[in-house]
Chain A
Amino acid sequence: MEKKTCLYDKHVALGALMSPFGGFIMPIQYTDITDEHNAVRQHCGVFDVSHMGEVRVSGPDAERYVQHIFTNDVADAPVGQIYYGMMCYADGGTVDDLLVYKMGDQDFFLVINAANIDKDVEWMQQQMQGFDITFEHQSDYYGQLAVQGPEAESVVEAVLGLPCKELKFYTAKTLDVAEGDEGETIIVSRTGYTGEDGFEIYGSHEFTQQAWDKLIASGRCKACGLGCRDTLRFEVGLPLYGDELSADISPIMAGLGIFVKLDKEEFIGKAALAVQKANGVEQKLVGIELEGKAIPRHGYAVLTPEGEPVGEVTTGYHCISVDKSVCMALVRTEHAKLGTALAVQIRKKTFPGVVVKKKFYDKHYKK
């Protein structure tokens, strides 16, 4: 039985198409994926991302623990800084990709993928031995909204009354708000998963419901479902765990080596990832642009022009912002060079294509 977020009733009332995702029943679209996608690229959209998981790690060894389980380097970070990176198994395979928020010198807030919550929490707890930390799983407390698009800053300030103009890209702050009986402390960060400027806002269910209502009632912000969240993140080359990252796909294979700090003293998976980086990997994630309008989908075979199978599509769409059929695919490394001719098998037909950068549309972050 799928879980419901605190906004479930509101999605149903808006007539959303609801579908299971990551253990939750989530809105895929309200009106039309293309309209919602374009709203985020051109104006502003709001997503219910309350399905995401949250973990709080605090205590004297909090930083040392985060450094141990996380591929990126949080040492000497200022309070409010956010890092993207992965948790990896000892063999370099990916447990999950996540954001780590440094909320205090001994206080870190970790945001993990919905589909991986149980697995991640169990794995993280297994790595705690020898660390003096407090580990709090807070997924059931937090709702989360993502307000995304070029108008997000003015919408969050004007409609929600949350000062956010001065927040730099990939930083966060806490704000005390009066919602509810007693008031509460929320977290606002300049982050997102769309390639546009935007904010992610973490608060209680009550706060999240009230903020959602204000955003929708304002008419300045379109309700957006997970359908366009996927087309938006895909176009700008952001990975989705389960497609571009997995226990079998390491960050090095996925081309995310810049988030793996091998100069760090120690972290789980470091030795295996260092070998992958030094010796190369057998398979790599690439972008492929296809001729024609057919859509390459997850799992479709990637072939050489001669028809030899050399990989699989991880995500593909007919790209909304650039009107091209493109995909990300995991292929054997000898076929991963830019400009290599490849083809994708789509049902009974084969469509020729070429290896391109896995970014099909430029990000528009406000840094």
Chain B
Amino acid sequence: MANFESGLRYSESHEYVRVEGEYGYIGISDYAQHALGNIVYVDMPEVDDEVTAGDEFGAVESVKAASDLIAPVSGTVVEVNEALEDEPELLNKDAFGNWIIKVQLSDPSELDNLMDVEAYRKHCEQ
């Protein structure tokens, strides 16, 4: 069974954002890593890249398929989780503990378009 972590904001395409001050940590939900199966590669943007809410910023790949990562919020990438380059399976082990990118939020009001954990849980149950 998938875990659902409270205090995060979730998108319909199963990314989460954890907000700390002016920064957002973006990753994929535990539900998403379950659905993808063994993750073997994470394609991440570079520091200083701009990401736009609703647009693709990278991909997570299982053996069989690549799935786009869709930015839940807009901003500038200030850090990428380099540990995922060598150990993409960390996303399977702990999706919420291993964010993918850290962005400086350019429009925090976008957070209002995302779901809280209860709404997201219902979204996954549909």
Question: Which residues of chain A have a CB within 8 Å of any CB of chain B?
Answer: 28-29, 32-34, 227, 231, 293-295, 297, 317-318, 320, 346-347, 349
Question: Which residues of chain B have a CB within 8 Å of any CB of chain A?
Answer: 37-38, 40-41, 43, 58-59, 61-64, 66, 85, 88
The answer to whether A346 touches B64 (Cβ under 8 A) is no
The answer to whether B63 touches A293 (Cβ under 8 A) is no
For B38, give its contact among A28, A34, A297, A346 (CB under 8 Å): A34
The answer to whether A32 touches B43 (Cβ under 8 A) is no
Given known A-B contacts A295-B61, A347-B59, A32 and B41 have beta carbons under 8 A apart:
no
The answer to whether B43 touches A231 (Cβ under 8 A) is no
In the bound complex, residues from chain A placing their C-beta under 8 Å from that of B64 are: 28-29, 33, 227
The answer to whether A34 touches B63 (Cβ under 8 A) is yes
Q: Which of A28, A227, A231 has the most CB of B within 10 A?
A: A227
In the bound complex, residues from chain A placing their C-beta under 8 Å from that of B58 are: 347
Q: What does DSSP make chain A's interface, helix, strand, loop or mixed?
A: mixed
Bound CA–CA A349/B62 (angstroms):
18
In the bound complex, residues from chain B placing their C-beta under 8 Å from that of A347 are: 43, 58-59, 66
The answer to whether B37 touches A295 (Cβ under 8 A) is no
Bound CA–CA A104/B31 (angstroms):
56
The answer to whether B66 touches A33 (Cβ under 8 A) is no
Given known A-B contacts A34-B63, A227-B64, A347-B59, A294 and B37 have beta carbons under 8 A apart:
no
Looking at the assembled complex, report how far the CB atom of B88 sits from the nearest CB atom of chain A, in whole angstroms. Answer: 7
The answer to whether A294 touches B43 (Cβ under 8 A) is yes
Q: Which of B59, B64, B85 has the most CB of A within 10 A?
A: B64
Bound CA–CA A28/B58 (angstroms):
25
Bound CA–CA A33/B40 (angstroms):
12
In the bound complex, residues from chain A placing their C-beta under 8 Å from that of B41 are: 293-295, 318
Looking at the assembled complex, report how far the CB atom of A301 sits from the nearest CB atom of chain B, in whole angstroms. Answer: 15
Looking at the assembled complex, report how far the CB atom of A246 sits from the nearest CB atom of chain B, in whole angstroms. Answer: 21
The answer to whether B38 touches A293 (Cβ under 8 A) is no
Bound CA–CA A207/B73 (angstroms):
56
The answer to whether A346 touches B63 (Cβ under 8 A) is no
Bound CA–CA A347/B61 (angstroms):
12
Given known A-B contacts A32-B38, A33-B37, A34-B38, A317 and B63 have beta carbons under 8 A apart:
yes
Looking at the assembled complex, report how far the CB atom of A319 sits from the nearest CB atom of chain B, in whole angstroms. Answer: 10
Looking at the assembled complex, report how far the CB atom of B35 sits from the nearest CB atom of chain A, in whole angstroms. Answer: 10
In the bound complex, residues from chain A placing their C-beta under 8 Å from that of B38 are: 32-34
Instruction: Closest B residue to A317 by CB, please name it.
Output: B63
The answer to whether B66 touches A295 (Cβ under 8 A) is yes
Looking at the assembled complex, report how far the CB atom of A114 sits from the nearest CB atom of chain B, in whole angstroms. Answer: 18
The answer to whether B40 touches A318 (Cβ under 8 A) is yes
In the bound complex, residues from chain A placing their C-beta under 8 Å from that of B62 are: 33
In the bound complex, residues from chain B placing their C-beta under 8 Å from that of A34 are: 38, 63
23 A-B contact pairs sorted by A residue (CB < 8 Å):
A28-B64, A29-B64, A32-B37, A32-B38, A33-B37, A33-B38, A33-B63, A33-B64, A34-B38, A34-B63, A227-B64, A231-B63, A293-B41, A293-B88, A294-B43, A295-B40, A295-B61, A295-B66, A318-B61, A318-B63, A320-B63, A347-B43, A349-B43
In the bound complex, residues from chain B placing their C-beta under 8 Å from that of A349 are: 43
Bound CA–CA A82/B63 (angstroms):
32
In the bound complex, residues from chain B placing their C-beta under 8 Å from that of A33 are: 37-38, 62-64
Q: Which of A28, A34, A293, A346 has the most CB of B within 10 A?
A: A293
Looking at the assembled complex, report how far the CB atom of B81 sits from the nearest CB atom of chain A, in whole angstroms. Answer: 15
Q: Which of B40, B41, B59, B88 has the most CB of A within 10 A?
A: B40
In the bound complex, residues from chain A placing their C-beta under 8 Å from that of B88 are: 293
Instruction: Closest A residue to B42 by CB, please name it.
Output: A293
In the bound complex, residues from chain A placing their C-beta under 8 Å from that of B63 are: 33-34, 227, 231, 317-318, 320
Q: Which of B37, B59, B63 has the most CB of A within 10 A?
A: B63
Bound CA–CA A346/B40 (angstroms):
15
Bound CA–CA A110/B88 (angstroms):
44
Bound CA–CA A320/B38 (angstroms):
12
Instruction: Closest B residue to A349 by CB, please name it.
Output: B43
In the bound complex, residues from chain A placing their C-beta under 8 Å from that of B61 are: 294-295, 318
Bound CA–CA A262/B59 (angstroms):
47
In the bound complex, residues from chain B placing their C-beta under 8 Å from that of A297 are: 66
Bound CA–CA A318/B60 (angstroms):
13
Instruction: Closest B residue to A227 by CB, please name it.
Output: B64
